[in-house]
Structure 1
Amino acid sequence: MDFWPEFLASSSGREFVAGGFGGIAGVISGYPLDTLRIRQQSSKNNGSAFGILRKMVAREGAGSLYRGMAAPLASVTFQNAIVFQTYASLSRAFDPSDSAKDPPSYKSVALGGIGTGGLQSLLLSPVELIKIRLQLQNTNQSKESTTTTTSPIKVAKNIWRKEGLRGIYRGLGITVIRDAPSHGVYFWTYEYMREHFHPGCRTSSKESLNTMLVSGGSAGVASWVCCYPFDVVKTRLQGQTLSAIKYKGIYDCFAKSVKEEGYQVLWRGLGTAVSRAFVVNGAVFAAYEFSLRFLFNNGNIQMQETL
């Protein structure tokens, strides 16, 4: 009966809840662009995002842009909540300062982000596997069955039945390689940019909505640029089914992709990814900061009016 009041009374509890709201905002705002990115990465034809969008809507309907969203949306509240809570705890743990009032150093922020990215991969990898399988339905890479399903649970059961735990965690290694350094860049960029735009805001927690949006968007773009080739490899590894195994591992996927399509394949869909990243992560950090301040200030939010 008293769990939630006590949980929300702690800083960890508030960070957990605020992170959940941030994750929901991010998924809803950027999922269509994520679907286009996955289609671009998996296709041998280097089509434009607009061309793929037009074909998808004409052949499969506008709803195809949101196919598979239930999987990340169902888990993203918990996942993003864990990410922000873990990051807050690790960044404070790595900070040599004993003062609880001072914000963690930039080095501590980066180290906390790296640790958070590695840990969250354990939860994120199966979710992204299911999402990618759903997003790639009706493509040449996913023609194991002529049956189309929009149920993440059915896809998960099918993978478990045919491939077991190894199939569910296909791509875990490349997910860790992608997420650990990119999360270090992600949180460092956000903290640096918000302080650059609004000096003193890391201490006072007073800044404008524009600062949150631009800083969060910049963090998302920076993290995607530094890890994008790994994401292309991850998409291809997780998109293949048991009956059509083309890549034996990370290096094999990298080598075959480059040999067949050139080094440009490693950056295919980057424009779509960074566009989505700016929108999504601006929404994520804005929702997180608003929720956090609402919870810490008992519903009173103080904001600055300018960037």
Structure 2
Amino acid sequence: MMDFWPEFLASSSGREFVAGGFGGIAGIIAGYPLDTLRIRLQNTKNGSAFTIFKHMVVREGTASLYRGMAAPLASVTFQNAMVFQTYAVLSRACDSSVSPKDPASYKGVALGGTGTGALQSLLLSPVELIKIRLQLQKESQMTESIKGPIKLAKNIWTKEGLRGIYRGLGVTVMRDGPSHGLYFWTYEYMREQLHPGCRKSGEESLKTMLVAGGTAGVASWISCYPLDVVKSRLQAQTPSSLKYKGIIDCFRKSVHEEGYSVLWRGLGTAVTRAFIVNGAIFSAYEIALRLLFHNASIHTKETI
């Protein structure tokens, strides 16, 4: 084990993996309260963001804003690490005409991001289901059998099986594939516009990282938000409260009962969170990657 980490970090994929993990942790910590507020808004018919926020803090305590954070925080390091590592591989594999010394083309970035988003859904879907169930819990509903992510996961597995754990997988893939393609493309395009030449040199300011990452997050969420609303509603269902038969049924019933505006409910909160979270993710990722490459080069020189 002592020899594993130096060798792992000496590889490009190893550094991408670790830097992606740091980015994921930064993103979760920065935006989780707004994510909880987004889920509450998507699953209620009445109340503004401020009203729901005030209700949660006054009646349930500040800790309610972080309810369910253990589930994504425990998995986000690995999940985000895999996302950035997979993206690094796929973005180059999708356009073999690019020289290994040059950054991936915008075509490769978009296709690699789409593939990465679809693949990560397999890991993300169960985590988001548990997170959403916990975020929607009221204090009066928190029995010992479903208190906390591990107990809730066991409860879902016992009562609903694999199908229950992966409820909403189809719409998660539909949401994450195209939106991740747009996400990575926007980030690479914006950082190059803000700091010409940085994609090749690998050098840009913290401001560029924050703005490019934040803009990428906003563009991604706007493009897939109606699907996210449907996904949240499907995953919030339990066997005793099945209202929707599937994606199309959920879409139809939601629009029929609450109008088309329901598909954009909570968008303001989501966009605000997206800018903060993704600015933090890409900044932490880029900074960690530079430090790891710097340490790796020092280690190589010392070895020589």
The two structures share one fold, judged by TM-score above 0.5: yes
- Aligned counterpart, 1:37: 38
Cα offsets for 1:65-116 (capped at 9, x unmatched): 0000000000000000000000000001112335211001101000000000
2:16/2:289 contact within 8 Å kept: yes
1:90/1:115 contact within 8 Å kept: yes
- Aligned counterpart, 1:64: 64
- Aligned counterpart, 1:135: 135
Cα offsets for 1:4-55 (capped at 9, x unmatched): 111100000000000000000000000000000000000011x211111000
1:211 aligns to 2:211 (yes or no): no
Distance 1:49 1:298 in 2: 45
SS in 2 for 1:199: coil
Q: CA RMSD in A?
A: 1.4
2:31/2:273 contact within 8 Å kept: yes
Distance 2:178 2:98 in 1: 26
Amino acid at match of 1:111: L
**Higher mean Cα deviation, 116-125 or 89-98?**
89-98
Q: Percent identity?
A: 77
Cα offsets for 1:227-259 (capped at 9, x unmatched): 000000000000011111000000000000000
Distance 1:150 1:8 in 2: 38
Distance 1:175 1:84 in 2: 18
- Equivalent residue for 1:165, pick from 162, 166, 186: 162
Alignment of 1:1-307 (within 5 A): 1=1, 2-45=3-46, 47-138=47-138, 145=141, 147=143, 150-298=147-295
Q: What's the TM-score once normalised by structure 1's chain length?
A: 0.94
Distance 2:261 2:225 in 1: 12
Amino acid at match of 2:8: F
1:147 is displaced (CA, Å) by 2.3
1:22/1:80 contact within 8 Å kept: yes
1:67/1:150 contact within 8 Å kept: no
- Write 1 or 2 for the structure with the bigger share of helix: 2
Amino acid at match of 1:235: S
Q: Mind listing any 5+ residue stretches in structure 1 that lack a counterpart? A: 301-307
2:133/2:236 contact within 8 Å kept: yes
Q: What's the TM-score once normalised by structure 2's chain length?
A: 0.95
Amino acid at match of 2:15: R
Amino acid at match of 2:83: V
Distance 1:274 1:20 in 2: 23
Amino acid at match of 2:33: P
1:299 is displaced (CA, Å) by 8.0
Distance 2:178 2:19 in 1: 23
**Higher mean Cα deviation, 149-158 or 274-283?**
149-158
SS in 2 for 1:99: coil
SS in 2 for 1:19: helix
2:182/2:216 contact within 8 Å kept: yes
SS in 2 for 1:103: coil
SS in 1 for 2:77: helix
Amino acid at match of 1:181: P
SS in 2 for 1:206: coil
Cα offsets for 1:274-301 (capped at 9, x unmatched): 000000000000000000000011189x
Amino acid at match of 1:269: G
Distance 2:187 2:37 in 1: 26
SS in 2 for 1:298: helix
1:263 is displaced (CA, Å) by 0.2
Distance 1:84 1:247 in 2: 34
Distance 2:98 2:50 in 1: 52
Distance 1:294 1:226 in 2: 33
Distance 2:43 2:239 in 1: 16
Q: Mind listing any 5+ residue stretches in structure 2 that lack a counterpart? A: 298-304
